[in-house]
Structure 1
Amino acid sequence: MHIQDYLAAIVFGAVIGIVARILLPGRQPIGLILTVLIGMGAAVAGTWAADRWDLHSDKHLVVRGHEYDWLVIGVQVGIAVVGVAIAALLAKAFSTDDADRYDRHRH
Protein backbone atom coordinates (compact mmCIF):
# COMPACT_ATOMS: atom_id res chain seq x y z
CA MET A 1 0.00 0.00 0.00
CA HIS A 2 1.21 3.47 -0.88
CA ILE A 3 0.28 6.78 0.72
CA GLN A 4 -1.95 7.63 -2.25
CA ASP A 5 -3.96 4.46 -1.55
CA TYR A 6 -4.69 5.69 1.97
CA LEU A 7 -5.50 9.21 0.71
CA ALA A 8 -7.90 7.74 -1.85
CA ALA A 9 -9.43 5.63 0.92
CA ILE A 10 -10.10 8.77 2.96
CA VAL A 11 -11.86 10.49 0.05
CA PHE A 12 -13.75 7.32 -0.79
CA GLY A 13 -14.53 7.01 2.93
CA ALA A 14 -16.91 9.95 2.79
CA VAL A 15 -19.07 7.94 0.40
CA ILE A 16 -18.64 4.79 2.49
CA GLY A 17 -19.95 6.56 5.61
CA ILE A 18 -23.06 7.71 3.80
CA VAL A 19 -23.63 4.22 2.35
CA ALA A 20 -23.27 2.73 5.84
CA ARG A 21 -25.85 5.13 7.19
CA ILE A 22 -28.26 4.24 4.41
CA LEU A 23 -27.79 0.51 5.10
CA LEU A 24 -28.68 0.89 8.78
CA PRO A 25 -32.41 0.65 9.47
CA GLY A 26 -34.15 3.52 11.22
CA ARG A 27 -33.02 7.04 11.89
CA GLN A 28 -29.56 7.71 13.31
CA PRO A 29 -29.31 10.77 15.56
CA ILE A 30 -25.85 11.74 14.31
CA GLY A 31 -24.90 14.46 11.89
CA LEU A 32 -23.55 14.23 8.38
CA ILE A 33 -20.08 15.39 9.42
CA LEU A 34 -19.75 12.58 12.00
CA THR A 35 -21.07 10.10 9.43
CA VAL A 36 -18.41 11.18 6.92
CA LEU A 37 -15.67 11.09 9.57
CA ILE A 38 -16.68 7.55 10.56
CA GLY A 39 -16.64 6.56 6.88
CA MET A 40 -13.16 8.01 6.46
CA GLY A 41 -11.90 6.17 9.51
CA ALA A 42 -13.55 2.96 8.30
CA ALA A 43 -11.95 3.38 4.88
CA VAL A 44 -8.49 3.69 6.39
CA ALA A 45 -9.12 0.85 8.87
CA GLY A 46 -10.57 -1.35 6.12
CA THR A 47 -7.64 -0.66 3.82
CA TRP A 48 -5.23 -1.47 6.64
CA ALA A 49 -7.11 -4.66 7.63
CA ALA A 50 -7.31 -5.89 4.05
CA ASP A 51 -3.59 -5.27 3.60
CA ARG A 52 -2.73 -6.82 6.98
CA TRP A 53 -4.71 -10.03 6.36
CA ASP A 54 -4.20 -10.10 2.58
CA LEU A 55 -7.90 -9.78 1.77
CA HIS A 56 -8.00 -9.04 -1.93
CA SER A 57 -10.08 -10.20 -4.87
CA ASP A 58 -9.66 -10.08 -8.62
CA LYS A 59 -12.78 -7.88 -8.99
CA HIS A 60 -12.07 -4.16 -9.13
CA LEU A 61 -13.99 -0.92 -9.47
CA VAL A 62 -12.13 1.79 -11.40
CA VAL A 63 -12.89 5.42 -10.52
CA ARG A 64 -10.88 8.18 -12.19
CA GLY A 65 -7.98 5.86 -12.89
CA HIS A 66 -7.79 4.43 -9.36
CA GLU A 67 -8.72 0.80 -8.75
CA TYR A 68 -10.77 -0.21 -5.73
CA ASP A 69 -10.94 -3.86 -4.75
CA TRP A 70 -14.53 -4.99 -4.11
CA LEU A 71 -13.50 -7.13 -1.14
CA VAL A 72 -11.69 -4.19 0.45
CA ILE A 73 -14.76 -2.01 -0.16
CA GLY A 74 -16.88 -4.65 1.58
CA VAL A 75 -14.57 -4.63 4.61
CA GLN A 76 -14.64 -0.82 4.68
CA VAL A 77 -18.44 -0.64 4.48
CA GLY A 78 -18.77 -3.31 7.18
CA ILE A 79 -16.52 -1.35 9.53
CA ALA A 80 -18.43 1.85 8.70
CA VAL A 81 -21.82 0.23 9.43
CA VAL A 82 -20.56 -0.89 12.84
CA GLY A 83 -19.05 2.55 13.49
CA VAL A 84 -22.21 4.44 12.54
CA ALA A 85 -24.34 2.05 14.63
CA ILE A 86 -22.11 2.55 17.68
CA ALA A 87 -22.13 6.33 17.23
CA ALA A 88 -25.93 6.33 16.90
CA LEU A 89 -26.32 4.22 20.05
CA LEU A 90 -23.98 6.49 21.99
CA ALA A 91 -25.80 9.58 20.71
CA LYS A 92 -29.13 8.15 21.88
CA ALA A 93 -27.69 7.08 25.23
CA PHE A 94 -26.24 10.49 25.98
CA SER A 95 -29.07 12.52 24.45
CA THR A 96 -30.40 15.34 26.62
CA ASP A 97 -33.31 16.03 24.30
CA ASP A 98 -36.40 16.51 26.50
CA ALA A 99 -38.77 15.56 23.68
CA ASP A 100 -36.95 12.25 23.22
CA ARG A 101 -37.13 11.54 26.95
CA TYR A 102 -40.85 12.43 26.97
CA ASP A 103 -41.53 10.04 24.08
CA ARG A 104 -39.72 7.15 25.82
CA HIS A 105 -41.70 7.57 29.02
CA ARG A 106 -45.00 8.02 27.21
CA HIS A 107 -44.92 4.55 25.63
Structure 2
Amino acid sequence: MEITGIISALLIGLVIGGLGRLVVPGRQNISLLLTLGVGVVAALLGTAAASVLGVADTAGIDWIELAMQVGLSGAGVAALSGARTKVTR
Protein backbone atom coordinates (compact mmCIF):
# COMPACT_ATOMS: atom_id res chain seq x y z
CA MET A 1 0.00 0.00 0.00
CA GLU A 2 1.31 3.44 -0.90
CA ILE A 3 1.56 6.33 1.53
CA THR A 4 -1.40 8.08 -0.10
CA GLY A 5 -3.53 4.98 0.51
CA ILE A 6 -2.56 4.95 4.17
CA ILE A 7 -3.29 8.65 4.59
CA SER A 8 -6.66 8.34 2.86
CA ALA A 9 -7.53 5.29 5.00
CA LEU A 10 -6.77 7.30 8.14
CA LEU A 11 -8.87 10.25 6.96
CA ILE A 12 -11.78 8.03 5.98
CA GLY A 13 -11.42 6.20 9.30
CA LEU A 14 -11.63 9.49 11.16
CA VAL A 15 -14.80 10.44 9.30
CA ILE A 16 -16.35 6.99 9.80
CA GLY A 17 -15.38 7.07 13.50
CA GLY A 18 -16.93 10.50 13.91
CA LEU A 19 -20.13 9.37 12.24
CA GLY A 20 -20.12 6.31 14.48
CA ARG A 21 -19.96 8.58 17.53
CA LEU A 22 -22.88 10.60 16.17
CA VAL A 23 -25.19 7.60 15.79
CA VAL A 24 -24.60 6.44 19.38
CA PRO A 25 -26.85 8.38 21.77
CA GLY A 26 -25.43 9.99 24.89
CA ARG A 27 -21.89 10.84 25.88
CA GLN A 28 -19.06 8.53 24.84
CA ASN A 29 -16.06 8.38 27.14
CA ILE A 30 -13.41 7.45 24.56
CA SER A 31 -10.52 9.42 23.12
CA LEU A 32 -10.13 10.80 19.62
CA LEU A 33 -7.33 8.32 18.92
CA LEU A 34 -9.56 5.41 19.95
CA THR A 35 -12.34 6.81 17.77
CA LEU A 36 -9.91 6.94 14.85
CA GLY A 37 -8.91 3.32 15.47
CA VAL A 38 -12.53 2.19 15.63
CA GLY A 39 -13.28 4.11 12.44
CA VAL A 40 -10.35 2.58 10.52
CA VAL A 41 -11.26 -0.95 11.62
CA ALA A 42 -14.94 -0.36 10.82
CA ALA A 43 -14.05 1.04 7.40
CA LEU A 44 -11.93 -2.01 6.60
CA LEU A 45 -14.54 -4.48 7.89
CA GLY A 46 -17.39 -2.66 6.13
CA THR A 47 -15.48 -2.67 2.86
CA ALA A 48 -14.71 -6.37 3.21
CA ALA A 49 -18.32 -7.21 4.03
CA ALA A 50 -19.61 -5.16 1.10
CA SER A 51 -17.16 -6.92 -1.21
CA VAL A 52 -18.32 -10.34 -0.01
CA LEU A 53 -21.96 -9.36 -0.50
CA GLY A 54 -21.20 -7.92 -3.94
CA VAL A 55 -22.47 -4.40 -3.27
CA ALA A 56 -19.08 -2.62 -3.30
CA ASP A 57 -18.60 -2.24 -7.05
CA THR A 58 -20.94 0.57 -8.03
CA ALA A 59 -20.37 3.84 -9.83
CA GLY A 60 -20.28 6.83 -7.49
CA ILE A 61 -20.80 6.62 -3.74
CA ASP A 62 -21.42 3.17 -2.30
CA TRP A 63 -24.23 4.05 0.11
CA ILE A 64 -24.73 0.48 1.33
CA GLU A 65 -21.03 0.11 2.05
CA LEU A 66 -21.00 3.47 3.85
CA ALA A 67 -24.01 2.47 5.95
CA MET A 68 -22.28 -0.79 6.90
CA GLN A 69 -19.12 1.09 7.89
CA VAL A 70 -20.99 3.64 10.01
CA GLY A 71 -23.05 0.89 11.66
CA LEU A 72 -19.94 -1.08 12.53
CA SER A 73 -18.28 2.07 13.82
CA GLY A 74 -21.29 2.89 15.98
CA ALA A 75 -21.28 -0.61 17.41
CA GLY A 76 -17.57 -0.36 18.14
CA VAL A 77 -17.90 3.06 19.79
CA ALA A 78 -20.82 1.86 21.91
CA ALA A 79 -18.95 -1.29 22.96
CA LEU A 80 -15.79 0.58 23.92
CA SER A 81 -17.68 3.38 25.63
CA GLY A 82 -19.67 0.86 27.64
CA ALA A 83 -16.54 -1.05 28.58
CA ARG A 84 -14.78 2.12 29.78
CA THR A 85 -17.59 3.53 31.98
CA LYS A 86 -17.85 2.64 35.64
CA VAL A 87 -21.04 1.18 36.96
CA THR A 88 -21.97 2.74 40.30
CA ARG A 89 -24.84 1.60 42.46
TM superposition score normalised by structure 1: 0.68
8 A contact 1:57–1:70 mirrored in 2? no
**Which 4+ residue blocks in structure 1 deviate beyond 4 angstroms?**
6-10
1:73 to 59, 66, 70: 66
Unaligned runs of 5+ in 2: none
Does the 8 A contact of 2:10 with 2:36 survive in 1?
no
* Structure having the higher Rg: 1
More strand by percentage: 1
Gaps of 5+ in 1: 62-68, 96-100
Report if aligned partners of 1:38, 1:80 keep a CA contact under 8 Å in 2.
Answer: yes
**Pairwise CA distance, 1:58:** 4.7
Q: Deviations over 1:22-70 (max 9, x none)?
A: 1211101111110111001000000011001212475633xxxxxxx11
Q: RMSD in angstroms over aligned alpha carbons?
A: 2.2
Q: 1:50 to 1:72 in 2, by over 3 A?
A: same
2:22 equivalent in structure 1: 22
CA distance in 1, matches of 2:37, 2:56: 24
Q: Percent same amino acid among aligned pairs?
A: 34
> What number of residue pairs does the alignment pair up?
86
